[in-house]
A and B are shown apart, each in its own frame.
Chain A
Amino acid sequence: MIAFNKYYNQFNILSMLLITASLLLLIFKGLNYGIDFKGGTLIELRSSDSKINVSSLRDKFNQMDLGDVSVKKFGNDTDFLIKFENKDNKKNIIEEIKKNLDSSFGSNYDFRRVENVGPKVSAELLKAGVIAISLSLAVMLIYIWIRFEWQFSLGAILALFHDVIVTLGIFSLFSLEINLSIIAAVLTIVGYSMNDTVVIFDRVRENLRKYSDIKIFELTNISINETLSRTIITSATTLLALLAIFFFGGEILKGFSLAMILGVVFGTYSSIYIANTVLVRLRVSQKTVLREDDNKTV
């Protein structure tokens, strides 16, 4: 049996540091929103001419007066991702850009993807994203509140907040782009983290009913160990699937799978070191569970 409970305090401090750092990052550095949430235009360009590179593209686009332009390589050497604000929301911007590029590069390039999100839509998408994440947290709270005693709910929700905040904090730290698929990833993380916590909690509650003489400090450790191989195997298979997406699923899914990988890692960690420690700190005992059982039979 591994003595997870030996490090409850240390890891609680670590988690608090992580959350504080993430919150500070989110407040002061903010998130790198993609065009889905910021509005603007994105062009994925593939070239068949070595003359077309990041610097020549940047020069060309900067001449076009499009506001802030970012040009980056995308995956391999021939693909580029160009993003700009398109502040005035010009109508025929794509056509104009094509004309401009034709004049210097001929037809040795091809627009593989064009996305243009107006300011109104991006504001709506951001709002919908925030609502979706808040709603999912609320729904999870209600679900767990129905299923478990309040101490458990608090533990699970704190673990969820931890996972979401730290994942977003890492995205902020490395300026990784937040787009619609990241919202999907965050929601899935919420589901996954909850799933992981619930399995351990289920065992904690079962053990609470079984043993009246074991303190919660010890009991959580027993429960974590009993469910440990399941926790490891499920995390491992999920991570294997996600790594496959990350490495082979193409550039578009990179951010999504990265967020999910982080979420799974933190979700697994938080089920053990946040959710359970909340139970310990709230001095959950057999009485907590039995009282609830009594209420239910009445």
Chain B
Amino acid sequence: MLYFSKLRILFVTIFSLLFILIASSNLFKFDDSFFDKKINLGLDLQGGSYLLLEIDNEPVIEQKLQNLTTIIRNYFKEKNIKVNNIKIDNQIIFFNVADLDKQAVIDVFQDENSDLNPYYPRFKSHQLDIEDTGINLKVSFSRQGVINLKTSSQDQAIEIVRRRVDEVGTNEPNILKRGNDRILVELPGLDDPQRIKSLLGKTANLTFRFVTNDESDRFGVDKLKFEDGLEEATVSKRIIISGENLLDAQPKMDTQTNQTIVSFTLDRVGAKRFGKATSTGIGKQLAIVLDGKIISAPVVRDTIASGSGQISGGFTFQTATDLALLLRSGALPAPLEIIEERTVGPDLGQDSINAGMIALAIGFLLVIIFMFLKYKVFGLITNVTLIINLFLLLGILTLFEATLTLPGIAGIILTVGMAVDANVLIFERIKEELKGESNNILAFDGGYTKSRTAIIDANITTLLAAIILFFMGSGPVKGFAVTLGVGIFTTLFSVYFIARLFTSLYVIRNKNKEKLI
């Protein structure tokens, strides 16, 4: 156990130096890209905002079912099957057909090549489930159908969220999927997420619809409130153009009225429809509806065939800019709700870094002094090992560009406190061995061999706890699991390679000395 080959000494030295170099790259600037890695600071240390958004898929499902009722009716009409009493209740479609046709209808739904009910061969499931209750037929989304629907609305939503966040122009945002109905947004360096929060809180569903006084409009009508919440107007359900028809939107100053407005450009389809509607609807009020509220309802004075127009509505420059941004980035498929928010100001982050570093320095110093007083020469060896261990730990975190959080710093300090355990186990064992063994080298050898199982056991238990914490914990706590877990490996390496190297050199040189430890 005490013998170290020259090659091994060389390897250990180079390895340690390499990691010291990597760890120190956090302090200096290296030109080489390999060394230009840095430990990422968590949001709790650098300041920033963490937002967890949940997609409310209810309206999407309702809408899809609504469309489905029409599709089902038309589909079977072509097949000369009459669908009766179709209704939606609690996200389930119920309808009746003649008893003779029942099986035919069920077969259509259960046909793997059905164009009415898509089949997902990978999951061996249809989009919709059908059930004969005896009284009527019951159609609802299958488990897989709901999952697919959620994933697709998540895919759309994350794209829109990314566009909106990018447009605001924050520093390296991190936007990730969580589960199948959540989106995580991390915004480093942002200490007031108010604007982003309000931008993400809007679905931005824009429609242009005529105001009508005719309650019996054949498309149906909605009673909608104006943005200010005071007035109300009756608006036709017929959509002239929607946000999807927009090519661009920009905030502008109207030179005539000195008002801030949002000017927009339509795509070809939109321009054509807008032109037609404005030519037939001169004199009527055209309501501009955003998320169920009327922004404004100007009277159409002229045919607008150019495919561009403007929205006015008592905007400030900020609200006009935000509206233009929302319109450019497109509508969310479903409303988002912020279900978790954690924001740390940059000065608190800096304070946490300072406090963490002071605690690390003091903790380190206390442990070093204690070990030196207790073990003298061997304390010194432990301490040198401890310092290298710290560099190894920081080096690995740097190499993998891990995220360091405040609990992560606590994990490093704790590693310092617990890292001496292995060395202590060995030294105490050596002391015991020396009681019955006069040969120093043999006693040292025995100390290392006999303490090994205890050391491995002890470290595995801590490692298990760290692994569980890593997978179950969130955010800052994960950072703690990382430093604690990595710390175990660097500790074992530094104890068995570095400390043992020093110990062996010392023991071989003093093999005849009495009271060695």
**Which A residues are within 8 Å of any B CB, using their own CB?**
44, 91-92, 94-95, 110-118, 120-121, 125, 128-129, 131-132, 135-136, 139-140, 143, 147, 180-181, 183-184, 187-188, 190-192, 194-195, 198-199, 202-203, 226-227, 229-230, 233-234, 236-245, 247-250, 252-253, 256-257, 260
CB of B407 within 8 A of CB of A140, answer: no
CB within 8 Å for A250 and B356 given contacts A120-B339, A136-B468, A238-B414: yes
**Residues in A whose Cβ lies below 8 Å from that of B147:** none
- CB B172 to nearest CB in A, in angstroms, measures 21
Q: Name the one of B345, B352, B425, B454 contacting A110, with C-beta atoms under 8 angstroms.
A: B345
Q: Does B13 contact A (CB under 8 A)?
A: no
Residues on B with beta carbons closer than 8 Å to the beta carbon of A44 = 348
Q: Is A180 within 8 A of B474, CB to CB?
A: yes
* Bound CA span A124–B418, Å: 32
Determine if B472 and A244 form an interchain contact, defined as CB atoms under 8 angstroms apart: no
**Those of B394-440 within 8 Å (CB) of chain A:** 406-407, 409-410, 413-414, 416-418, 420-421, 424-425, 428, 432
Question: Chain A: which residue is nearest B351 at the CB level?
Answer: A250
Complex Cα–Cα for A226 and B469 (A) = 33
Complex-state Cα separation, A253 to B413, whole angstroms: 12
Interface string of B448-478 (1 = CB under 8 A from A): 0000011001111111111011001111110
Are A199 and B414 also in contact (CB < 8 A) when A191-B462, A249-B355, A252-B352 are? no
Determine how close the nearest CB of chain B comes to the CB of A18; give it in whole angstroms.
23
List 19 A-B residue pairs with CB atoms under 8 Å apart, sorted by A's residue number: A111-B343, A111-B345, A115-B342, A132-B468, A140-B464, A181-B476, A184-B477, A188-B465, A191-B464, A198-B457, A198-B461, A199-B458, A226-B432, A229-B424, A237-B367, A240-B363, A245-B410, A245-B413, A245-B414
Are B352 and A234 neighbours in the complex by a CB distance under 8 Å?
no
- With a cutoff of 8 Å between Cβ atoms, the chain B residues found around residue A139 in the complex are 464, 468
Chain B residues near A128 (CB, 8 Å)? 472-474
Q: Is the interface of B mostly helix, strand, loop or mixed?
A: helix
The 4 closest A-B pairs by CB, nearest first: A241-B417, A244-B363, A191-B465, A250-B355
Q: Please, how many angstroms separate the alpha-carbon atoms of A122 and B207 in the complex?
A: 37
Q: Does the CB pair B461–A94 fall under 8 Å?
A: no
- Are A233 and B474 interface neighbours, CB within 8 A? no
- A residues near B374, Cβ cutoff 8 Å: 233
Task: For residue A236, give the distance in angstroms from its CB to the closest CB of chain B.
Answer: 6
Give the residues in chain A near B409, CB-CB below 8 Å: 249
List B residues at the A interface (Cβ < 8 Å).
44, 52, 54, 194, 198, 201, 337-345, 347-348, 351-352, 355-356, 358-360, 362-363, 366-367, 370-371, 374, 406-407, 409-410, 413-414, 416-418, 420-421, 424-425, 428, 432, 453-454, 457-466, 468-469, 472-477, 480-481, 484
Are B418 and A234 touching (Cβ within 8 A)? yes
A180 touches B367 (CB 8 A): no
* A188 CB → nearest B CB, Å: 6
Contact status of A202 and B413, CB under 8 A, knowing A112-B344, A117-B340, A195-B458: no
- Contact flag A233-B420 (CB < 8 Å), given A110-B345, A121-B339, A139-B464: yes
| Cβ B420 vs Cβ A234 within 8 A | yes
**Beta-carbon contact of B469 and A132 below 8 Å:** yes
Chain B residue nearest to A241 (CB atoms) is B417
Contact at A188–B484, with CB atoms within 8 Å?
yes
Most buried by A among B201, B428, B472: B472
